[in-house]
Amino acid sequence: MQMDLNWYPSLRAADFPADAYEQLRQRLPASTPFNHLGWLHAAEAALPTEQQLQVLVGHHQGRLCLCLPLIRGRERYGPLTVQVVRHLGYPMSDRIALLADLPTGAAKQVLREIRRHLPHAVLQLNEVVDALAPRPVLGAWARRSSTHEQRLSCRVPVHSIVEQDRQEISGDPRYKLRRARKRIAACGAQVRRVIPDAKSITTLLDAVADVEEQSWKGNDEVGIFCGPSRRQWMYQAFTALAAQGLVRMVLLELNGRCLSYRLGVFERGRIYDYNLAFVPAYADLGSGRVLLEEWIHWGLDDGWDWVDASRVSLENSSHQLHERMSDLCEQHRLSYYSWRPSGIALGLGLRLWQRFKPQLQRLRQTPTATIATPLAKQENGDALTGHSQR
């Protein structure tokens, strides 16, 4: 079934259907606060000059049923530099849903239009929730790609807030929480809940950005406020969301100074635990668990349903919500390789890598025979043990 498809050069275009966009966002259960126009406006403003934004909008029988803000840029894949198309918001946004409520058979028309208007080697969607993904759309795209890859990017712990959460958690986390509360009380620090608005958010962001800068995230330049572009994006995005009442913060403060924080975005009964940091000099307070507990207690008081870690590392995640989780949310990276020569070449390289990677891993795990003198064996007696453990 044919749709009316149009392209806009910006989400801020004078004739962009902003009201219809919000209606589409609200009626799709997979959408998140990171699909909010205010967040995406900030993402657009932070785009580097070498990236191109084009917004594909689709109507069916007069109703908006598709909006895809897409960015295209050149990226390096091994020896090749190719055109890659992604959803606006990468890499700072977690769990951006594909806003597509398409009539039957329209998915192939949408993909054909994307390839016509934005020629590319790879169309890649990040942090797609498998359980909520529009399967008819993504399945149709996979069938029309030279190669398709779905890779697990993370397993996000989530916690269902229930009445039993008013009781102390059992096991080792209980004692860690007790010790942290005692240390916090001993130094005189206090926990504060904040719902910022558009006027107060800048001062609060200044405080938490200063904490992040002092933390390991600032030292390693991986924080959300690191660099002028990221800082601009986060300030503009959180200001827009705060104006809509969607931002929540829990702060640990001592004499008005922020020592630690958790910064979240709230919508539809779910708090997304987006960012946290602490001042290294106060690391022994153990504030992270206390502030996570504060999310849960806040949820009990205000009737929230979920605490959501938003995003974690796929391997060796240290997020403290793992201690409290009642479910996992799997997020995937979806890659659709085009039929252009560059897309076919990349897809072929991916399939070859997937075929030979297990063999290479087995070769790397095979112990290497070595000839060593008795002295060398004595000096390196633990080497073989360490190798087998790794």
Give the angle subtended at the CA of 330 by the CAs of 244 and 69, to the nearest 5°: 50
Q: How confident is the model at residue 367 (pLDDT cuts 50, 70, 90)?
A: low
Structural tokens at position 254: 């001592």
How long a stretch of residues is the chain?
390
So what's the pLDDT on residue 366? 66
Q: How confident is the model at residue 382 (pLDDT cuts 50, 70, 90)?
A: very low
Question: Within 10 A of 115 (CB to CB), how many other CB atoms are there?
Answer: 19
Residue 341, preceding peptide bond in cis (omega within 30° of 0): no
The closest alpha carbon to 37, from 280, 240, 254, 324, belongs to 240
Question: Within 10 A of 56 (CB to CB), how many other CB atoms are there?
Answer: 18
Question: In angstroms, rounded to a whole number, what is the distance separating the alpha carbons of residues 55 and 109?
Answer: 16
Q: How confident is the model at residue 276 (pLDDT cuts 50, 70, 90)?
A: very high
- For residue 242, give the 3-state DSSP assignment: helix
Q: How confident is the model at residue 374 (pLDDT cuts 50, 70, 90)?
A: very low
Q: How confident is the model at residue 1 (pLDDT cuts 50, 70, 90)?
A: low
Residues 302-331 have pLDDT tens digits of 999 999 999 988 887 889 999 989 999 999
Q: What CATH code is assigned to 162-304?
A: 3.40.630.30
Q: What is the pTM of this model?
A: 0.87
Write b or e for each residue in 317-347: b if 16 or more Cβ atoms lie within 10 A of its Cβ, otherwise e. bebbbebbbeeebebbebbbbbebebbebbb
Query: What mean pLDDT do residues 334-357 have?
Result: 90
Q: Where are the alpha helices (DSSP H) in 190-227?
A: 201-214, 216-219
Q: Domain limits of the chain? A: 4-156+331-354, 162-304
Per CATH, 4-156+331-354 and 162-304 having the same topology is answered yes
pLDDT surpasses 70 at 106: yes
- Of residues 281 and 371, the one with the higher pLDDT is 281
Fold classification of 4-156+331-354 (topology level)? Aminopeptidase (3.40.630)
Residues 146-191 have pLDDT tens digits of 999 999 999 999 999 999 999 988 888 899 999 999 999 999 999 9
β-pair partners for 54: 70
Residues 229-265 have pLDDT tens digits of 999 999 999 999 999 999 999 999 999 999 999 999 9
